[in-house]
Chain A
Amino acid sequence: MEDVLLLSRLQFAANISFHILFPTITIALCWLLCFFKIRFDLTRDPVWMRAYRFWVKVFALSFALGVVSGITMSFQFGTNWPGFMEKVGNIAGPLLGYEVLTAFFLEATFLGVMLFGQGRVPNWVHTLATCMVAVGTSISAFWILALNSWMQTPQGFEMRDGVAHVLDWWAVIFNPSFPYRLAHMLLASGLTASFLMAGLSAYRIYRGDAKRAPRLALKTAMTFAAILMPLQILVGDLHGLNTFKHQPQKVAAMEGVWETEQGAPLLLFAIPDEKQRTNHLAIGIPNMASLILTHKVDGEIRGLNEFIGEHPPVKPVFYGFRIMVGIGMLMLLVAWIGSYQLWRHNTLSPWLLKTTMAMTFSGWVATLAGWYVTEIGRQPYLVSGVLRTAEAVTDIAPGNVLLTFILYISLYAFLLVAYIRTLLLMARKAVEIEEIQPHEHPNHRDNAPLAQGAH
């Protein structure tokens, strides 16, 4: 049983980690595509269409990877976690069902028109299709985060004969942590997509692409990131306060607080030791954690020792939180300096161009780290206080789970390498394309040929 539990957890973690990489990009990238398309419709400047065409290909590839890795999830609930459905299926089932009905079909169907429909439908219908896909991806995020948040902070139900029955759907969906988690994830998606766009555009410029489109995409993405990052810090703080109220043991692990303390320090670095239940080599700012979480210098933070047997493993939560926040700070710095340079001088200094390239996938690392904090932080429960992870696991032979686990991680590793290599290849190919041609102007037949030179 232990083996199956560990293997099933590893397999699910591998699957969901691989899966989340792609929705994190596509949720926000699609809104950026809407922005490009609408700007094109309004200005009739073909450079917006150029940007759209490059990024719609990135979107298509990312979306396909998200879809296929998502299908596996719908099977694994049943195969590896039958206890989850038996106990809370009355809640999880309809929420997932609404995701399929209201989001999956919408995005998948309009995606066909968005990718291949231009020339077959009027321009406004194509713009509308792009917006529909964006709406679909965001609705999808709405339902899946409603379910995940309910697992963190469950309410609106009662247990009858060991099975959860819903009393109030409104309370189930809008459970206490949901608004914060949804906002936090949507902003994370915005930042991940912005840094991907900025990074790949910087790579094109670095490889000698002097066209307008990559510069425009770089400026757009950098500006979005510069606006979203402070919002993310604000929302992240609110989310943290919400967690402090509803899941104090998770916050204790995030902050590395063992004994209940008044005026707890904000630990910048430490090595938590779960055997001796203490931290080594701690460096911290005195009273800062209490100040952030309680808004009082000597506010009380309940320590892990109050939750023995009921709190998550400390190390992954503690480190994951620091990785997420660290990358967030770096993003803020790069986005603000980058936006300043781009709006002031219309170009990035060489070192910042390289830094931006290096941060192409930084959103992935921060998003994964954040999800590890919140998901591992919920352990040992699958649904806080209702269902322990160990109670939900399957009784399939461990050998079978081991086999599929090895196959999954090999496939995912291969696909991840192929994905990144293909993005870089697409960027290099785009460098070779010539600058905007006269026929790309929407009303080029009415223009005198000489007028084209202006762009």
Chain B
Amino acid sequence: MILDAHLPYIFVGLMGLAVLVYAILDGYDLGVGILLPLKHEDKSDQMIASIGPFWDANETWLVLAIGILFIAFPSAHSLVLKELYLPATFMLFGLILRGVAFDFRAKVKQTRKANWDKAFKFGSLLASFMQGYMLGMYIMGFEHSLQAEVFALLSGLGVTAAYCFIGACWLIMKTEGELQQKAIHWARKTGWICFAGVLAVCLVNPLINSSVLERWTSLPFALFIWPIPFVSLCLFVLCHQVLKRLPLQNDAGCWVPFMIALFIFLFCFQGLAVSFFPDIVPGRLDIFEAASAPSSLRFILVGALIVVPCILAYTAWSYRVFWGKVRELRYY
């Protein structure tokens, strides 16, 4: 029996799931986009082929996350998006450019292909950076001060590095030979920038938000929070060690860095969630104030409970169909 009082928890959980899955899935394909080497067409083709069948569905998780915010917490939706009007618009521009570039590059004249590759790369970069910037602004409670701006810009860099990192790990798993070597190199470089970013957020977040500091130093929250930076550190060190040894014979363990990256994303997400829950807009609005009418939430919940497992199932199936090293992409 689901009580009305449970509904905000369920929907914030669903939204959290959508945001996390989005960050991981679109994270790797945005990362691959940013890493695109403009001068090597054969590598670009392979890299794009590795994300070809997935990027569209990956982006749908963003629509779902925004959709749940819109359905379940309408006042938070308009508050957040009004505060982030310009960065959100720029992010959309990035997503539009890269989304269409993906299709145009395969169909236009050879001379124009390089231009669409640029659109793909810089569109991915713009979208990633703006997502990080918006995350930074969100953590800072949409404050308009110099330190907030600086933090948001740093957060933009951090998220961009994190996407590049998980993108490189994806490529290690999906490619072989020279490109795989290159991807290992990228993963090592971006991994450390990404770690610096995680550390910076861990330090800055409690310092600027007194409620977060309180939480980080009080039981039982502290039990959930303190392991996060330490486990993340261990994961980064582990990843570094693995990357030093790759590639192994028969390509054993090529999937390990991607799994590690996935767990790093999971822990970082958990850290942010524990810091702010149950606020949906830090310091301003919590999930109970923002929730929409229970009858509407129940109506959509029925559908979500039936459909979300189906979505997960056919998403898993599609990853199985395109399992293994990337082959040339051909429209058939």
Contact = CB atoms under 8 A, between A and B. Distances in A.
Interface of A: 53, 56-57, 60-61, 63-65, 67-72, 74-75, 77-79, 82, 85-86, 89-91, 93-94, 96-98, 100-102, 104-106, 108-113, 115-121, 163, 165-166, 169, 394-396, 400, 403-404, 407, 411, 415, 418, 422, 425-426
Contact of B53 (A78, A96, A112): A112
B7 interface: no
Contact of A109 (B100, B314, B331): B314
Nearest to A59: B331
A396 B331 contact: no
A102, A109, A119, A163 pick with most chain B CB within 10 angstroms = A109
Contact of B107 (A71, A400, A404, A426): A426
Contact of A79 (B85, B104, B109): B85
A400 B74 CA distance: 22
Interface in B11-57: 52-54, 56-57
B contacts with A: majority SS: helix
Contacts of B86: 400, 403-404
B211 interface: no
Given A112-B52, A115-B331, A64 B102 contact: yes
A69 B63 CA distance: 12
A220 to B, nearest CB: 20
A63, A67, A425 pick with most chain B CB within 10 angstroms = A67
A86 B75 contact: yes
Given A78-B77, A104-B63, A165-B293, A116 B53 contact: yes
Contacts of A63: 56
A68 B71 contact: no
A275 B57 CA distance: 51
Contacts of A74: 63, 66-67, 70
Interface string B101-142: 011100111000000000000000000000000000000000
A64 B56 contact: yes
Contacts of A96: 67, 70-71
Contact of A425 (B99, B109, B314): B109
Nearest to B56: A108
B74 A85 contact: yes
A98 B59 contact: no
A79 B81 contact: yes
A118 B85 CA distance: 42
Contact of A422 (B67, B97, B108, B293): B108
Contact of B292 (A53, A61, A71, A89): A89
A450 B57 CA distance: 45
B68 interface: yes
A77 B67 CA distance: 10
Nearest to B313: A109
Interface stretch (B181-189, B212-220, B224-232, B296-304): B296-304
A118 B329 CA distance: 11
Nearest to B98: A68
A145 B30 CA distance: 32
A407 B322 contact: no
B64 A100 contact: yes
B227 to A, nearest CB: 33
Chain B: interface size category: 35 or more
A79 B102 contact: no
A97 B81 CA distance: 18
A98 B292 contact: no
B89 A404 contact: yes
B91 to A, nearest CB: 9
Contacts of B93: 407, 411
B326 to A, nearest CB: 11
B245 interface: no
Contacts of A82: 78, 82
Contact of B78 (A78, A425, A426): A78
Nearest to A126: B332
Given A121-B321, A411-B93, A425-B108, A100 B63 contact: yes
Contact of A418 (B52, B104, B303, B329): B104
A93 B71 contact: yes
B251 to A, nearest CB: 20
A180 B195 CA distance: 56
Contacts of B77: 77-78, 85
7 contacts: A64-B103, A77-B77, A78-B77, A97-B304, A102-B303, A105-B315, A163-B293
